[in-house]
Amino acid sequence: MAGCIKHESNINYSPRSTRNHFVEPPSLFSRLIPNLPNDIMLQIQQAWNRQYYRLVSIDVRDLPRTLRQAPRNWNPRRLLNLPNLLAALWIVLLLWGERWVFESSIGACDWRSWERWPQEATPHHLIFLADPQIIDPHSYPGRPWPLSTFTYWHTDNYMKRNYVELQKSLHPDTVFFLGDLFDGGREWKAAHGNSVDQSWANGQRPSGETAYLKTWGKRYGEDFWLHEYDRFGRIFYKFWDLMGAEPGPGQRGRKIISSLPGNHDLGLGDKIKIPIRNRFETYFGEGNRVDVIGNHTFVSIDAVSLSAGGSEHEVAEIVRPVNEFLSGVQVLKRKAVARELDYQNRVEIRSQYEHSVQAAENANYNDGTKSDPGAGSATLPTILLTHVPLYRSPGTPCGPKREHWPPTPPPKGQIGPVIPDDRNAISISRGYQYQNVLSDTDSVKVIDSIGDVQLVFSGDDHDYCEIVHPANKNHAREITVKSISWAMGVRRPGFVMLSMWNPIRSNGQSMGTFSSDGPHIAPTVQSHLCLQPDQLGIFIRYATLIGICFLCIIVRAILTPILKLIPFSFAPVKQPTDSSLLPTTLRDLKCHNEDNFPSTQQSSSSVNSAAHANLAPRSTAARTRSISPINGYGLSQQKEVRFAIPPPTPLINHIPNGWSHQSTSKKSDDYNSTSTDKKWQLLSPTQIVWREIWTSLWRVTWIALFTYIYLW
């Protein structure tokens, strides 16, 4: 560096006589590395002394001065700058996008805000969740590694946040999943049995899947499926009792039921593989079941297996369980209602078989109907659950809550909706491993077999749809539930809330409700669509703020040298605490000579007689002080240093764009003028701009990333 004293090896530290003392570095360096050159050992000694000085330089006598300087170090001018403002905006936006928006969206669906029951009612609160379809290699097979991993993490995190907030704010008594728990569950081989595609199904896969079929067969099997099962549990099962296991007032208990299969879990129709279905039912339960919840009878059917009935291939093993279930579902309903009434009336649970002694050759092991109360016994309102929606006429409108397309405006003078309305309806179509609706034959078969179906809840479509079926389907009202994942093609995922209140007498007869007009039978269920946050909209806001940050930082950096703004790329330099004018360390000595003692040739060429006339004369004491430290720093008498006159006004002009010592000194509360001026003398306007941009971007980026990781 120009102007610095050379021959540093001849400079030695002398002990300080005040409160801080330098110590010799441990002799371990010389022991570990013998024959170490003197100049390298000197650098090690200097580094050791600097670190030691930082440790021992703390003194309680400095506390008052530190407290006095605190207002200057933390004044508004220093804190209120552009990078800090942008960082604060990022913190607020991330808190909103990662926390507050979930709380507000779920909190707006509070049960009391929409259910309308008498004051004395104790309704059962149930929530339907459809099509989580946790992302796996089947979802985006061509997506590169970093982006695919981020997609996995973020979709899981999105569903987990909504589910956690659902448990905290809504605390439902029952949660039903409506199928498609996995996205590629049907593709991962089972440990037992043949789970390879049937020979007649070769060539039916889309070309996008065929290219990855061999890779899936080698890399993903039973272990991977179990890993996905555990992943599903970490999202949903783990937080089931987050707010406790106690049900709402007057309820029997809490349940979470996820046994209803979807076409992404098992496949569809004749392409279902028995080992895949057996594995699913082993871990989640049977897809065909009857549950009595909140004085209502819920019947779940395996609709994806039922769809195999019209196939020309051998499907007897696929459709047998669901056909057997439908043939005996009326008996199962009566038994379930009888058991519930016995529990409410505190009657001993009935035994399935009568206790009697019979000869082995005369015993009938198939007679399990003795616990059936028989036709005409008590019934409860029936609700059907199916993954695939029931058949409806093409173009049947889904109503105004459908996100993909709003209903077509009716022509002038028409009161009812436009029928058919293809864009607002679920399309009647099918393809490889999917079928948008059941066949009309299967739909009528299900309704007739179950009997008295009043409500139907389905999934699969990923969007909301609400229709009323015709007479051949008992005029049942069907609600297709939105997907809860933001990766399923809907901007606002959601779920359906069901509030049920059906007070009954001991014989199962509904008691009805009373109003000012007298007694009347009221509906026993009320439903509500709860919308989750728009994750894509959150990302758009993040991208918008990124653009604003870049624009503001670049504009501010360009204006800094032009308008002589205070730079924030240079950290404030601590004012020296020693009142002595002399340097106390080797580093200070270098900077002192670099700033104040330029070479004689440079000084003589740049300083003229007119400039010397403007300089204040130096006192005798000052001249004495400028020479006396030589021996104290270990300099030999023969190598006396010539102290030149400080540079006059022409050197100040090297500060870019009109900066001067006088203007900088006015801002001494924020920056040390000497250090800042020295740095600015060495930078061009372009370098200043780039330094400002880089420093500001780094400051905003690490604060935003730290906040995002903390909120993750």
Query: 74 pLDDT band (50/70/90 cuts)?
Result: low
Nearest of 464, 305, 459 to residue 385 by alpha carbon: 459
- Structure tokens given for 519: 């007694």
pLDDT (tens digit per residue) in 338-356: 999 988 888 866 555 566 7
Nearest of 185, 652, 658, 229 to residue 433 by alpha carbon: 185
Write down the pLDDT at residue 586: 56
pLDDT (tens digit per residue) in 624-640: 444 444 444 444 444 44
pLDDT at 145 over 60: yes
pLDDT (tens digit per residue) in 281-316: 999 999 999 999 999 999 999 999 999 988 888 899
Write down the pLDDT at residue 122: 93
Write down the pLDDT at residue 178: 97
Query: 162 pLDDT band (50/70/90 cuts)?
Result: very high
**Mean pLDDT, the chain, as a whole number?**
79
Write down the pLDDT at residue 347: 81
Q: 3-state SS of 165-182? A: HHHHHCCCCEEEECCCCE
Can you tell me the distance from the alpha carbon of 461 to that of 404, in angstroms, rounded to the nearest whole number?
A: 11
In percent, the amount of the chain with pLDDT more than 70 equals 70
Can you tell me the distance from the alpha carbon of 359 to that of 364, in angstroms, rounded to the nearest whole number?
A: 10
pLDDT (tens digit per residue) in 361-383: 777 666 554 577 888 888 999 99
- The average pLDDT across 641-667 equals 41
Higher pLDDT, 326 or 36: 326
CB 118 within 8 A of CB 499: no
pLDDT at 44 over 90: no
Write down the pLDDT at residue 488: 93
Can you tell me the distance from the alpha carbon of 537 to that of 492, in angstroms, rounded to the nearest whole number?
A: 9
Query: How buried is 563 (Cβ within 10 angstroms: 0-12 exposed, 13-18 middle, 19+ buried)?
Result: exposed
Q: 3-state SS of 95-132? A: HHHHHHHHHHHHHCCCHHHCCCCCCCCCCEEEEEEECC
SS3 651: helix
What secondary structure letter does DSSP report for 5? -
SS3 645: coil
Higher pLDDT, 537 or 588: 537
CB 697 within 8 A of CB 548: no
> What is the biggest distance separating any 2 CA atoms in the chain, rounded to whole angstroms?
135
Higher pLDDT, 20 or 187: 187
Can you tell me the distance from the alpha carbon of 166 to that of 209, in angstroms, rounded to the nearest whole number?
A: 35
Higher pLDDT, 682 or 624: 682
pLDDT at 403 over 60: yes
CB 256 within 8 A of CB 175: yes
Measured N-to-C along each axis, helices 329-344 and 440-450 cross at an angle, to the nearest 10 degrees, of 40
Task: Give the Å distances, CA to CA, from 81 to 36, 553, 567, 649, 708.
Answer: 48, 11, 10, 32, 22
pLDDT at 527 over 90: yes
pLDDT (tens digit per residue) in 433-477: 999 999 999 999 999 999 999 999 999 999 999 999 999 999 999
Query: How buried is 147 (Cβ within 10 angstroms: 0-12 exposed, 13-18 middle, 19+ buried)?
Result: exposed
Write down the pLDDT at residue 571: 46
- Structure tokens given for 414: 């028409």
Can you tell me the distance from the alpha carbon of 151 to that of 142, in angstroms, rounded to the nearest whole number?
A: 13
Write down the pLDDT at residue 208: 81
Query: 685 pLDDT band (50/70/90 cuts)?
Result: confident
Backbone torsions φ then ψ of 51, nearest 5 degrees: -65, -40
pLDDT at 175 over 70: yes
pLDDT (tens digit per residue) in 22-33: 444 455 555 555
Task: Give the Å distances, CA to CA, from 504 to 81, 245, 662.
Answer: 68, 25, 90
Number of residues assigned to the chain = 712
Query: How buried is 18 (Cβ within 10 angstroms: 0-12 exposed, 13-18 middle, 19+ buried)?
Result: exposed
Can you tell me the distance from the alpha carbon of 317 to that of 273, in angstroms, rounded to the nearest whole number?
A: 10
Query: 77 pLDDT band (50/70/90 cuts)?
Result: low
pLDDT (tens digit per residue) in 242-285: 998 899 888 988 999 999 999 999 999 999 999 999 999 999 99
Q: What's the pTM value of the predicted model, to 2 decimals?
A: 0.74
CB 381 within 8 A of CB 524: yes
pLDDT at 608 over 50: no
Can you tell me the distance from the alpha carbon of 560 to that of 683, in angstroms, rounded to the nearest whole number?
A: 13
What's the topology of domain 115-196+224-349+372-408+421-510+522-533?
Purple Acid Phosphatase; chain A, domain 2 (3.60.21)
Can you tell me the distance from the alpha carbon of 199 to that of 191, in angstroms, rounded to the nearest whole number?
A: 20
- The average pLDDT across 686-712 equals 91
- The average pLDDT across 168-174 equals 95
Q: Give 541's contacts (C-beta < 8 A, 6+ positions apart).
A: 93, 97
In percent, the amount of the chain with pLDDT more than 90 equals 49
Instruction: Look at the block and give the residue holding tokens 């059941």.
Output: 438
CB 90 within 8 A of CB 704: yes
**26 upstream amide cis, omega within 30 of 0:** no
Higher pLDDT, 646 or 120: 120
CB 438 within 8 A of CB 307: yes
